[in-house]
Amino acid sequence: MKQNLLLKNVMKLLIFSVFSIVLLIAHKEVKAQTTITSNQTGTSGGWYYTFWNENSGGSASMTLGTGGNYSTTWTNIGNFTAGKGWATGSADRNICFSGTFNGGSNGFLAVYGWTKNPLIEYYVCENHGSWTPPGNTSDIKNKGTYTCDGSTYTMYTATRTDKPSIVGTATFQQYWSVRTSPRSSGTVTFASHVAAWKAAGMVMGTTWDYQIIETEGYGSTGSSNMTISECTVVTGPSVSITAPTSNANYVAPASSITFTASATTTSGTISKVEFYNGTKLIGTATASPYTYNWTNVAAGSYSITAIATDNSSKKDTSDAIIIKVVDPLKIYKTPTAITIDGTADAIWSNASVLPASAAKLLSGTVTNAADLSGTFKALWDNTYLYVYADINDESLKNDSQNAYDDDGIEVYIDGDNTKATTYDAKDVQYSFDWNDGTTIGTLPSGRSITGITYSAVNKTGGYIVEARIPWTTLQTTPSVGKLIGVDFMINDDDDGSTRDAKLSWNAATDDAWEDASLFGLAVLGDVLSNPCTTPSAPSVVSSVSYFVGNAATALTATGTSLLWYTAATGGTGSVTAPTPLTTVAGTTNYYVSQTVNTCESTRSTISIVVSPLSQTVSLKAGWNLVGCPITGSTALASALASIWTNVETVKNMDVFYSSTNAANLNSLKTVEWGKGYFVKITNPCVLDWIAK
């Protein structure tokens, strides 16, 4: 097998070289929208084109569109290549391309061409099918990686000895750069690739032959539709987020999400990379690798971008990625096995076993809750995953060959929570229809139903489905804390024909039957030991006032096992009561819950209102009566700092201060909030009550 693979890759590299010569056989001018199936080169609307088919099986064609457009299709082809570009290549050409590319099992999209003096055959591979060129044969040498045009490229080289080329049989070097994040549209700054090759000892020739964007198919079936042009690249930085991938899921509250960006610039250096959640800056990195660790992230969906700034203040913004931080459905472990009879065991009524509602309308029309609505609960033990669905449906039908066209439920499981966009071996959908006996529907068709038991029973205005699914059938080993992908849907048939409506718990579109990334998230919890009744929120003083600069005290609340938060929902609670800051005027909310018998309450809110101290009083020379607005007790000299040089005497009915007294003779040392004082001053002035 290894020898066959080696031979295949060697033959592929040989064929790549052969087609360049064959293309020179015929060269002619053709009009746009001409479909080509025979080997030839030529020009179309001023663009150089090539088409070559080894004719070892299958079929291939190339349609020449207007300008730089071309399209291809190939079916069970041995080897073929086609593309458009320039009859004479360039070391510093900026090549723009856009369109669609389907490489199948073994095809790729690349900038391709030749140089002479020395003779070089080169590829800048931008996209490929499931086979990644140039393969791993012994004559291929990995020359390292570099970054340009928003991605990392891996370089390869090989010596081709006595092989066909554009000058006949010759010995020459073959250069490859393969993009690690494939794309079908973008800009190839070819000079960057030439420079990277040179730095790796891969020197180009001094004479340039043709240079094209090519579509190649080898032992595969595929298609492409590309439009190329020579474009102007604006100098400056380029940035892309390389991790995590878009639509990545995290469990709320996410203790840590690390963002990594790749940033380059055509001149100068990168000064910084800033990471934004929408329009809000969340972090900055100033050195490569450009990373930022976002901590304690509450539940929600976030749009993250990176902005790179170079040393000349030029900026570039990355494409946005979506990050989802979700509260997973908690599936608790049952201490005893569940009886599958459609009658709820007592454990289903445990306060911790919360129902999840199928409230998203995927198709059709739902008139009201009686027409269609429902919830489901889930439990587990070491042997089974248990599901209990309570469905409201006033018109029940079961008369169709397709399970989804009758009244029933669908349960989706992703045992390893990979959230792939296509089903893998651990992704499955089970259908349990009303009045369907023991029949269980599956997608993909033929998936195992070994050991699955369910019961569907009528209730007033609907039905109940109770089921158990062995973990062995799901190919999953359960454990406390394990994450699994789940979804739950209800089908509705009101008139005995096809489906009239469909509801889901998580998926927003009716594609979860083939796309596991649409599933929701669940976590396997520990065994339920006692019922959980949510306690009331702790008692608090809902509003506390300070002036700027006042000394604050730690917040208090009446309750058991208090947890303090800075947000109304989500986040991680602290057992230490916070002490508010009073340095800036404004209102800040704090939140506190209590936990009773392992059950946490909702959160009470405490609003801290910090008012500015900007009260001033104009005083005349002589005696003045003033009231103190500063909260608490404040040192006399600090409170009267703004007029202290003019103060002769301060007194009230109890205490006395004189500037001529020795310090130990003055009984008035502080002023108190809300009290009045007689103040004698030498000159008119303004008293600013801000504590200094």
* H, E, C per residue of 371-431: CCEEEEEEEECCCEEEEEEEEECCCCCCCCCCHHHCCEEEEEEECCCCCCCCCCCCEEEEE
Contact 431, 387 (CB under 8 A): no
Q: Tokens for 270?
A: 């990168």
DSSP category for residue 469: E
Cβ neighbours of residue 566 closer than 8 Å, sequence gap 6 or more: 578, 590, 591
Cβ neighbours of residue 686 closer than 8 Å, sequence gap 6 or more: 616, 617, 618, 619, 642, 643
Nearest to 522 by CA among 322, 358, 378: 378
Q: Tell me the catalytic residues.
A: 121, 216
CA distance 407 to 419: 27
Q: What are phi and psi of 443, to 5 degrees?
A: -140, 130
Q: Which residue has the tokens 């007194």?
A: 651
DSSP category for residue 665: G
CA distance 677 to 679: 6
Taking the CA atoms of the chain, what radius of gyration do you get in angstroms? 37
Nearest to 52 by CA among 44, 62, 63: 62
What sign does the dihedral 476-478-484-490 (CA atoms) show? positive
* Three-state secondary structure call for residue 292: strand
Contact 184, 98 (CB under 8 A): yes
* H, E, C per residue of 107-170: EEEEEEEEEECCCEEEEEEEEECCCCCCCCCCCCEEEEEEEECCEEEEEEEEEEEEECCECECE
Q: What are phi and psi of 554, to 5 degrees?
A: -60, 145
DSSP category for residue 449: -
CA distance 62 to 213: 13
CA distance 273 to 286: 6
